[in-house]
Structure 1
Amino acid sequence: MSFKFEELKVWQRALDFSVKIHELTLYFPKDELYVLTSQIKRAADSIVLNIAEGSTGQTNPEFNKFLSYALRSGIEVVACLHIAKKRNLIADANFTVLYSELEIIIKMIQALRKTINS
């Protein structure tokens, strides 16, 4: 048995991205554990979770609301990546890769929102 969200490319990509964020935070210093580490992991996971929660057994307007939450979480991750970069916790090259991946995910969420709203 599979759930509707498991078939969504945006959910699959967001899930892979959340793993990349988890792996990134393994190298953050301990003093960031309850600050930036927690925040960026929760925001990345929230993208995945909101896509899943909104997709199953919901109306299109309800799904759109959850996609909006996922989109906002994505923007939160962008801000966290900038903070990590400013604090020298992430190399420029790694920042660029993660930022680019997140841009794609955000565009996919926006496209899905357009599709269900039309």
Structure 2
Amino acid sequence: MGFKFENLIIWQRAMELGENINGLCGKFPKEEIYNLSSQLRRAGDSVAFNISEGAIGQSNAEFKKFMGYAIRSLAEVVTCLHKAERREYITKEEFKIHYDYSYNLMNMMVAFKEKIR
């Protein structure tokens, strides 16, 4: 792969998260297409977008800033998952799968951000 961010495991997993979330949102009712579904899709995609944008920045401080944005986007994904489960758009099992994936990715991203100097 040509860009350095493509080699980052956190970016690869964030890309997978975005695709998984996109598929999950297909189950939501049509009235949510411009609300929760849209918000969840944008937040899910934003995680990888911010990692890649920060990685090609001019400084480590800028990369750290964009990692913070990516972490916030992932927190937004988790909140949207809670909303979807409470509204019964997804099952408890689907929630747990995506929640656990997000939790593990969050831990990886926080650890990675702390190592940026």
In structure 2, the residue matched to 1:39 is: 39
Q: CA RMSD in A?
A: 0.9
Question: Per-residue deviation at 1:108?
Answer: 1.0
Question: Per-residue deviation at 1:44?
Answer: 0.5
Q: Give the secondary-structure state (helix, strand or coil) at the position aligned to 1:34.
A: coil
Percent of pairs with identical residues: 45
> Whole-Å Cα distance in 2 between the matches of residues 105 and 13 of structure 1?
7
**Could you state the TM-score of these two structures normalised by the residue count of structure 2?**
0.97
In structure 1, the residue matched to 2:49 is: 49
In structure 1, the residue matched to 2:12 is: 12
In structure 1, the residue matched to 2:84 is: 84
Q: Give the secondary-structure state (helix, strand or coil) at the position aligned to 2:88.
A: coil
Aligned pairs, how many? 117
Q: Give the secondary-structure state (helix, strand or coil) at the position aligned to 2:35.
A: helix
4+ runs of 1 displaced by more than 2 Å? none
Question: Per-residue deviation at 1:57?
Answer: 3.7
> Whole-Å Cα distance in 2 between the matches of residues 58 and 47 of structure 1?
19
Question: Per-residue deviation at 1:27?
Answer: 1.1
Task: Structure 2: give runs of 5+ residues left out of the alignment.
Answer: none
Task: Structure 1: give runs of 5+ residues left out of the alignment.
Answer: none
**Could you state the TM-score of these two structures normalised by the residue count of structure 1?**
0.96
